[in-house]
Structure 1
Amino acid sequence: MDIPSKADVVIVGGGIAGCSIAYHLTKLGITDVVLCERRQLTSGTTWHAAGLVTQLRATRQMTELAQYTGELFGQLEAETGQATGFRRSGSLRLATSEARYEELARGASMGRNFGLPVEAVSPGEIKERWAPIDTDGVVGGFWFPHDGQVNPADVTMAYAKGARMGGARIVENLPVTQILVENGRAVGVMTEKGRIDARTVVICGGMWSRDLAATIGVTLPLHAAEHFYVVTEAIPDLPKNLPVLFLSDEWTYYKEDAGKLLVGFFEPVAKPWGQKGISESFCFDTLPEDIDHIAPHLEAAAARVPLLEHTGMQLFFNGPESFTADNRYLLGETPEVAGLFCATGFNSIGILSSGGVGKSLAAWIRDGRPPVDLIDVDVRRTQAFQRNRRYLEHRTVETLGLNFDMHWPARQFTTARGVRRSPFHDRLLAAGAFMTELAGWERPGFFGTAEEVANVRYSYGRPSWFDNVAAECRNTAGNVSLFDHSCFAKYLVEGPDAARTLNRIGANECDVAVGRIVYTQWLNEAGGIEADVTVTRLAENSFLVVTVAVSQRRDMAWFKRHVPEEARVHITDVTSGLPMLALWGPKARALLAQVSPDDFSNEAFPFGTSREIDLGYARVRASRLTFVGELGFELYIPAEQAAHVYDVLAEAGGAFGLKNAGFFALNSLRMEKGYRHWGHDIGEEDTPFEGGLGFAVAMDKPGGFIGREALARRKANGTVRKRLVQVKVTAGGEPPMLFHHEPLLRDGRIIGSIMSGAYGHRVQASLGLGYVSNDEGVTKEWLAGGQWEVEVAMKRYPIEVQLGPWYDPGNQKIRG
C-alpha cells in the first residue's frame, strides 16, 4: 500500500465524524487531508447506529449544529450521488407525567427561540400521527416536523465520497499506532505502513480514542457501553413513514423502517463494556444478546405498542457505543498537545451531530478558534483524573440512561463520586451538607437535616431544598456565612515578565501595586471572553490567578499558548495545595477580628485588597472580595492548616450567627447582584461590552492586549447591539423558575433568551440574566420603552428588565 509521507491534516478514524470532518475541510479549501481507518469505514460504531435525526438539543449552539446536520442530509445525496436514506418523517416526544411534560414544554419554548418548528400535541393527536400506540397514561407531547432518520452507513459513505471529490485521501486498513508529538505539538502519526507528517492531527477513533490519546498523556474520558435494540419481523399494514417516537419515561424509542419497527433502549442502569481494552481486530462485531437485561423494557414496549405482543423479533441487537463522563461529546483542540484535535465520545448522538461537528471542527482547524461558542462540548472542560478506567466504568453505568432520564435542574450524578474532596469535606458532611459535584469536586449544594439530604426532590418549580437555601441567603445578608470554595482553580504566575505577560493576556490593567486584586477577562482575537479571572499581585514578580473549577485545564492551556515568545514567566497550578473559604456577610469583619490580630477596617483593608494575616495559629491570605454582594473575605489557606482554620472560625462564629452555606445559595445571591458566570452568562462569543463588563477593560494600557483591536472596532461603532440584561419575573402567585434559554420577548417579538436564572431570596423574586438584541442599540431607554415577557414552557409571563442589579445597586454593602 502506497501512503503519503505528509499532509496538512491527518484524521484518525473512519466513522461518521471522521468522514464528515474530511468532507468539511475540503469545503474550506483544506484539501491535503488523509483519513486513516484501521479496518473499514463505519466498522466500529457507526454501522449499527439507529440513524435518528433530531434537532432540539440542550443549548442554542447545539441545536443550531443539529439543524445544520438535518439540512445537509437533505442535500448530500444530490451533491455526491451517494444515497443516504434520509427521510424527514418528523418525531414525537411524549410525556407520561406532568414533570416530563414540563421538561418537554421548556425544551419546545427554547427550540422556538432558535427558529425550530415545534407544536404541542394531545394524546388524540399523537394517536392520529402514530396509530399503533396505546396512549393510556400519556399526558401529551410535542411534534417536531423537521426531524427524521437516515441510514448511518450510507450517509458516512456520502461524506467520504464528498471528501474524495474535494481532494481528500481516505485509506482503509491502515491502523494508526501512535500520535507523534514534538515540543508539545502534534506533528503527525505513525501507522503500520510508516510515518505521515502533519500540521494537524484529529482523533475520531470512537471507543478506541481514550487509549490512543493516553499513550501521549492526553485525556479523552470515554468508555464503551452495551447498547440494545430489537428489530421486528415485517408487520402487515404498519403505516409507512411513521414519525420517530420517543418515550423517555419508558426509556424507549421507536423507528419504522421498511415495514418493520426498530425499538431501542436507553436503560437507566447500563452495562459498561471493554474495561480491559478493545481488540484492534473488532470490525462490524456484535456483543452477546443478553435478552434478560432488556426484557423489562421490552415488556413495557409491548404494553405501549400492543402489536409487538404478537410480532416476531427478527433481530436482538447489542453493539458497543462510547459514552463520556458528563454525557456530552468531546470536541476541539486538546489542552495537553497543540495541533491535536478530537471529535469523539458521542453518547449515541453521533449521527445527528455529524454535520455540525464536521463544519465546526473544520473551521476551528482553519482559524485556530471555534466558529461559535462550543463550551458545552469543548474537550478542555475535562479533568486529568477522568482518564481513570475504574471511574469511567462506574460512571458509564449512569451516563447511557441520561439520554432519556429527566434533565432536572441541579440534577446530580450518583455514580463515580467522591474523587475530589476539600480538607473541609467531613466537617461539611457532619454539618448536614448535600454534596453536589463539578469537575469531580464534592461541593455543598445546601445544608439540611439528614432526612432532607437523603430525600432531595428535584423540580422545575421549587425544589425540596428551597427553604434551606432561603435560610442560608437570609443568614448571609443578616449575619455571616461560610462557603467552601476550594474547588476554584488557582495558578501561581511568577517571573520577571509575569506582569507584562498577564497584561498582554488580560484585558484589564494587571500591573498594579502589591496587594491589589484585579478583575479581568482573557479574550480571544475576536474580543470574545475565554476566561473570567481575578489576578492578585503577591509580590513584584509573583501573582495569583483564580478561575472557575471547570476551566482548570482550559485556562492553563490558554495561558501557556499565549505567553509572548521568550517571556521569562512560569505558571504553576496550586489548586490542590491552596483550599479556600469565603466568609461573607455583614458580621464577617467582626468575626475575623475575633480570631485574628490584624486590622480589617475599611481604612486598613479596603475592598480589592489582599494580604497575609494571622488566623488562629495559621498564616492565611485574605482577599477582600465578594460574589454574593455582601461584605466579606476570601481566605486562601495552606492545605495542612485548612482544617485548623475551619475549626477556629466555627468555634468563634457562633457568637456572630455563623452558618455554612452552599452553592445553591451562592447562585441565588450572585443572581441578585448580576454577577456573571463564565460558561453561562459570558463566553467565547460575548465581548466584555456585551456582557456589561466594560469597566474591566483597560483599552488604553501600554502594549494593548489580546482582542483589543476587535474591541476597538466595536467601540468605534458606538452601538452595542447585544447586551446582557437583568430580568425579574413580575407575575403574581408563585412565579416560574428561570434556568436557561427561556425566550425573552419585547412587544411580542422574541429578541433574546435567558442564560442563567435563580430565585432571589433577598429580593423575593424569580430572576435571570439574559441577552437581548436590537439593531439600533440596547440602551436604558429602549429597555424601558417596551412591554417585556419571558416564555416558560410555552406560557408567557410579564417581566421587568434592566441593566443594573436588583440588590444593592450602589454597592454600599460590599464596601461598608
Structure 2
Amino acid sequence: MHHRRQNICYFFCMFTRSVFLCKVMPPKFALNCIQHQDKTLADPLPSHASVIVIGGGIMGCSTLYHLAKMGVTDAVLLERNALTSGTTWHSAAQVRALRHSRNLTRMIQYSVELYSLLEKETGQSVGWIQKGSLSIATSPDRLTHIRRQEALAHAYGINARSISAEEAKERWPLMNGNDVLGAVWSPDDGRVSPSDVCAALAKAAKHLGAKLFERTGVIGILTENGRVRGVETAQGTIMCDAIALCTGLWSREVAAMAGAEVPALACEHFYLLTKPIDGIVGNTPTLSDHDSHLYIRDDSGGLLVGCFEPLGKPIAPGILNESFEFGLLPEDWDHFEPMMINALHRLPALESAEVKMLLNGPESFTPDGTFMLGETAETRGLFLGCGMNSVGIASGGGAGMNLAHCIVHGQTAYDLTEADAKRFAPVFNNIEHLMARAPEILGTHYDIAYPGKQLRTARDLRTLPLDREYRESRAHMGQFFGWERPLYFGKLVEPVLRFDRPDWFQNVRAEVMAAHERAAVFDASPFGKIDVQGPDAESFLLHVCAGHVARAPGSVIYTAMLNERGTFESDLTAQRLADDHYRLFVGTAAIKRDLAWLHRHSHGYDVTLQDVTEDYAVLGLMGPDSARIVSECGARALNEVAYFKHGTAQLVGRPVRGARISYVGESGWEMTCRREDAPEVYAALVAAGAQPAGTFAQTSMRIEKGFCAMGHELDGDVSPIAAGLDFAVRKSGGFIGAEALEAGRARGDVSHIISLSLDDESAVPLGHEPIYFKGRILGQTSSCAFGFRVGKPVGLGHTREQLRNGERVQIDIARQMHDATVTIGPLFDPQSLRMKH
C-alpha cells in the first residue's frame, strides 16, 4: 500500500497544475459560431415568434429542430453567448439507452435514431461511435443490480446480456479484473460529439425556416395574467405565444423572470483526460465501474476517466454569471483523489500515464435526479427543458422532441410524468435545500437501486400533524413531495438495504395483520385536498372529471381526470359536501400538477379552487374492530354511513368527517379532521386498540386488492378501459377525453391489468420485472410486494395481450425465472365483502 501511495503522490506531483481555467479554447464549432456572429446578427430580430427557445445547448437546439419539424417554422432560438457554450460542449456525451422506465428508455432510443439520421439529413457528421458499454460488478448486490437492469433491457427491446468476468476482461484488456464478479454487455450503446450534434440540429432547423440569434441575451420575460407574452433582449423585444426555457445552469434564475420555480442547482463534475497510452488502439466500449463511482473510455488515444463521486460539490448561485462561456472551474485534485485511487486500482496503466487535464465542468441537478420537462404550474406558455442531471446528450434528442410535442400538441408524445415540470413541492425551490440535495443527487447516479432507499439530505421539510407521535412509535420515515411519512413502525435499528427479504418484513406483517384482524390507523394527511366551490362546481367537475360527480351531497365519488387522448392525468376521490362545494383528494405528489390542470380548465366557470391540504389531517381507520372503536370514542354515527358515503360525527369531542371507503380492502373510514385536532383523535383511536401502520403495509394491501395507482398502473399512456376502470366512467360523455374513450370502446379495447401471485414465497419482486408467457415477454409488473393476507409475493402488471384467469407465467427477477399464476381481478376478497361489511 505504501508503494502504491508513492506512485499516486508522484502522479499528482508531476501533473497537478495550479491553474484556474476561467476560459478555455472553444471547440471548432464554437469558433465557427463566433466568427459568423456578425452575419447572424445582420438579420434583425423578428417582432413576433410563435415560440422562443432560450438557450443554445443540446436541449435548445433539439427543441428548435423539432418545433420546425412540427411546422413551427417561425420559431426563434436566443443564445446569450455561443451555441453549446454552457455545459454541452464539455459533455462526455455517452449515450446509454437503458433507463429505469420504458418511456425514458424509449426517449433515448429516439435520440440514437435521430443522431444517425441527422448525418443523412444535413451532411453534418455527429461523431457517432457505437462501441457498446460494459457494466461490471464487484459486489454481490451490484451483480443483482446489473442483472435486474439486463432483465429490464430485454423488456424494452435493448440488446444486453450477462457475461463472465473473463469475457469482460477480454473486452477491456487494460482492466484489472481480479475482483470482478460478472458483467453485463450492451453492444448498441455509444457516444457522439456534442458540438457536432448541435451543429447538425441547428443547420437542419435553419433549413426549415427557424432562426438562431447568438450574442442575444434575454434580460426579461414579459407576462400578462399569468401567461408569457414575450422576451426582452439587449437587441430588442420579441413577442411570442410560448417560451421553451432550455437554459441549463441558469434555468432557476431565468424562470424566476417569469415567476416560475425551477429547483435545480449546478454542481462541479470531474473527468480526467490523459495523453495517449499503450494499449488504447481505436475506440473502446464505455467501462462502467459503478462500485468505484467511475466511467471510463478512450479519448484521442488516451483515457477519459469520469466519476459521480458519493457527494459532489455544489456551486452557489451567482458564481457562474453571463460571462461564463466555454468555461471550466478550477482543478481540484484533493476532491478527485479518492476517485483517482479507485481508477488506479481498476486501470493500473494510469500509474504511468501522462495527464492532459482534470476537467471540472458544471452540471445542473434536480432534487430527484430527473430532468424537468413541460409547462410550468405558475406561468402559462412557459415550458421547461432543463435540469438534465448530466445526461443531456443522451436525453437531448428525445427530450427536445417531447418538449416540442408538448408545446405544439399540449402533451408529450408519451407519458413522462416522472420528468413533469410540476412535480416538485415549492419547498424544494430553496437555495439551502438545493445546496444540500444536489451534491447527493450527483452521487446517486451510480447507486445500487435498493428497494426502500431514501435520500439523506434536505429532510424534515414538511412534517405531518402527528410527526411527534409517529417518531415516538419508532417510525421509519420516507419523504414524499417534501412530507415525512411513516413507512413502517417499530424500527429498532437502521435497516440494512438489500434485494432479498427486507429488514422491515416482520414489522409490515404485524401492521397488515393488525388491519386484517383488529384495526390499524393509516395516515393520509399528505394527500392533496382541493376545495372546489361555487355555483358552477358541479358543471365544472362534470367537464374535467370522467366519473359520476353529479351525485348528491354526502356522496364519495372515485373519478379519473383525463386528457384529450382519454388517458389519465390523475385519479382522485371527491366528497360532495354541498350542492356548491366538493373536496377533491388527490395523490400526495400530484397536488401542484392537478391544481394547475384544474385552474387551466376553469375558464368560463363560476368556481373557486383552494388548496386546503395543510388545513386538515386524514386518518384511515381500517379493520374489523373499526366499528367498535368509533363507538367507544363517541362517533357511533359513523356506523350509519353507507359505503361510498360520508358523514360527520364528534370523536372524543372533536368534529370529524368519515368517508366510508377503503384503499386496503378492510372495513373502515377515512376520517378528516382539523389539523390541530389530529393528536387527540389519533390518541383516542390508539387507546381503543388501533395500531399505527405505514405506507409499506398500505401498498401490500392495495396490491392484494388489485387497486391501481398513479405512477404504477395508471399514467398518461393508460386509459380507464385498459386499466379495468371503465365502470367508473360516465357513458354519456361530456367530459375531457370522452370521444377518445368512445373510440376505444368501438375498437374493442379491453383491460390488460392482471394480478400475480408467485409460487416461491422467498422471491422478492420489486416492480418493472418482465412477465414471460410461453417463452416470450408479454408485459411487465407495475407494483409488487409480499401479500401477507394471501401468504405469497404478489404483484400487478400490464400485458400486451389478454391472459385468462389461472394462466401460468414467469417473472424475471434479476435473470432468475419465478413461476406465477395470473388472476383477473383482486387476489384478496374478490367480492369486496370485507370492506363493505
Shorter-normalised TM-score: what interval? over 0.9
TM alignment of 1:176-187, pairs within 5 A: 176-187=218-229
**Deviation string for 1:385-438 (max 9, x for gaps)?**
221111111101200011111121221010000001011001100011000001
Please list the CA deviations of residues 489-511 of structure 1 after superposition, one character each: whole Å capped at 9, or x if unmatched.
00000000001111111111101
For residues 563-596 of structure 1, the C-alpha deviation after alignment (integer angstroms, 9 at most, x for no partner) is 2x42111110000111211111111111111112
Q: Does the aligned pair in 1 maintain the 2:567–2:719 contact within 8 Å?
A: yes
Match of 1:663 in 2: 695
2:655 is the alignment partner of 1:619: yes
In structure 2, give the amino acid aligned to 1:591: I
Pairwise CA distance, 1:274? 2.5
Task: Tell me how far apart the structure 2 counterparts of residues 171 and 222 of structure 1 sit (CA, whole Å).
Answer: 26
2:344 is the counterpart of 1:305: no
1:396 maps to what in 2? 438
Q: Does 1:40 align with 2:79?
A: no
- The farther-off stretch of 325-334 and 711-720 is 711-720
User: Residues 307-386 of structure 1 correspond to what in structure 2 (within 5 A)?
Assistant: 307-386=349-428
Aligned to 2:742: 712
Confirm or deny that 1:628 pairs with 2:664.
yes
Aligned counterparts of 2:443 and 2:768: Cα–Cα separation in 1: 24
Q: What's the counterpart of residue 533 of structure 1?
A: 572
Match of 1:589 in 2: 627
Pair 1:803–1:37, CA change in 2 (3 A): same
Residue 734 of structure 1 pairs with residue 762 of structure 2: yes
Any gaps of 5 or more consecutive residues in structure 2? 1-40
The question of 1:519 aligning with 2:549 is answered no
Q: CA deviation at 1:224?
A: 0.4
- Superposition deviation, residue 81 in structure 1: 2.0
For residues 32 and 746 of structure 1, the distance between their equivalents in structure 2, rounded to whole angstroms, comes to 50
TM-score, length-normalised on structure 2?
Answer: 0.93
- In 2, are the aligned partners of 1:219 and 1:386 still within 8 Å (CA)? no
SS at match of 1:363: helix
Asked if structure 2 preserves the Cα contact closer than 8 Å seen for 1:219 and 1:387, the reply is yes
CA contact (8 A) 1:536 1:610 kept: yes
Between the aligned partners of 1:292 and 1:263, the Cα distance in structure 2 is: 16
Structure 1 distance, partners of 2:499, 2:395, is 27
2:799 to 767, 772, 779: 772
Mapped to 2, the partners of 1:313 and 1:582 lie a distance apart of 62
Deviation at 1:597, TM superposition (A): 4.2
User: What does residue 203 of structure 2 align with?
Assistant: 161
Aligned length: 795
Which secondary structure state, in structure 2, belongs to the residue aligned with residue 225 of structure 1? Answer: strand
C-alpha distance in 2, partners of 1:673/1:302? Answer: 52
Q: Once the two structures are superposed, what CA deviation does each residue of 1:695-725 show, in whole Å capped at 9, x if it has no partner?
A: 2111126xx21111111111122342x5111
State TM-score, norm by structure 1: 0.96
RMSD of the alignment, in Å?
1.3
Amino acid at match of 2:127: G
The equivalent residue for 1:211 is 253
CA contact (8 A) 2:132 2:189 kept: yes
**Alignment partners' CA distance in 2, 1:619 and 1:162:** 65
Residue 649 (1) aligns with residue 691 (2): no
CA contact (8 A) 2:537 2:580 kept: yes
- The 5-angstrom pairing of residues 75-474 of structure 1 reads 75-276=117-318, 278-451=320-493, 455-474=494-513
Give 3-state SS (helix, strand or coil) of 2:146's partner.
helix
Amino acid in the other structure paired with 1:561: R
Question: What's the CA shift for 1:743?
Answer: 1.1
Superposed CA offset, 1:722-749 (max 9, x none)? 511111112x3522x2222211122112
Q: Match of 1:770, as an amino acid?
A: G
Give CA deviations for 1:540-580 in whole Å, capped at 9, x if unaligned.
Answer: 100000001110100001111122x4211111000011121
2: CA distance, partners of 1:786 / 1:640: 51
Shift of 1:260: 0.9
- In structure 1, the residue corresponding to 2:709 is in which secondary structure? coil
Q: Secondary structure at the match of 1:405?
A: coil
1:561 alignment partner in structure 2:
600
Of the three residues 581, 587, 595, the one matched with 1:542 is 581
Output the CA distance in 2 between the equivalents of 1:787 and 1:615: 49
Aligned sequence identity (%): 38
1:785 CA displacement: 7.8
Match of 2:532 among 481, 485, 493: 493
Shift of 1:650: 2.6
| Cα displacement string for residues 510-557 of structure 1 (whole angstroms, at most 9, x for unaligned residues) | 011111100000011111011110011001100000001110100001
Q: Partner of 1:713: helix, strand, or coil?
A: helix
Tell me what 1:694 maps to: 726
C-alpha distance in structure 2 between counterparts of 1:597 and 1:405, whole Å: 49
Q: Helix, strand or coil: the match of 1:599?
A: helix
| Equivalent position amino acid for 1:302 in 2 | L
Matches within 5 A, 1:668-679: 668-679=700-711
Letter paired with 1:796: M
Question: Which position in structure 1 is the counterpart of 2:641?
Answer: 605
> Aligned pair 1:757/2:784, yes or no?
yes
Q: Quote the offset at 1:255 in angstroms.
A: 1.4
Contact residue 92 and residue 143 of structure 1 kept, 8 A: yes
Inter-partner Cα distance in structure 2 for 1:148 and 1:170? 29
* Alignment correspondent of 2:35: none
Decide whether the 8 Å contact of 1:60 with 1:741 is kept in 2.
Answer: no
Pick from 767, 770, 792 the counterpart of residue 743 of structure 1: 770
User: For 1:640 and 1:788, how far apart are their aligned partners in 2?
Assistant: 50
Q: How far apart are the structure 2 equivalents of 1:250 and 1:743?
A: 29
Provide closer, same or farther for how the CA distance between residues 561 and 31 of structure 1 changes in structure 2, counting only shifts above 3 A.
Answer: same
Confirm or deny that 1:791 pairs with 2:827.
Answer: no
**Counterpart amino acid of 2:660?**
R
Shift of 1:684: 0.8
CA contact (8 A) 1:272 1:393 kept: yes
CA distance in 2, matches of 1:210, 1:569: 32
Q: Secondary structure at the match of 2:89?
A: helix
* TM-superposed deviation, 1:449: 3.6
Confirm or deny: 8 A CA contact 2:638 2:649 kept in the other structure: no
CA drift of 1:370 comes to 1.6
Shift of 1:309: 1.0
Q: What are the superposed Cα offsets for residues 763-799 of structure 1, whole Å, 9 maximum, x if unpaired?
A: 111111111122xxx2xxx424854222221222211
CA 1:75/1:719 → structure 2, altered by over 3 Å: closer, same or farther? closer
Aligned residue type for 1:729: L
Q: Are 1:725 and 2:754 matched, yes or no?
A: yes
Q: Provide the rounded CA distance (Å) in 2 between the counterparts of 1:64 and 1:707.
A: 25
Cα deviation 1:204-241 (Å, max 9, x = unaligned): 00010011112332111100001011101111331322
Q: Contact conserved, 1:275 with 1:393, CA < 8 A, in 2?
A: no
**Mapped partners of 2:818, 2:804: distance in 1:** 17
Moved more, 711-720 or 222-231: 711-720
Letter in 2 for 1:516: S
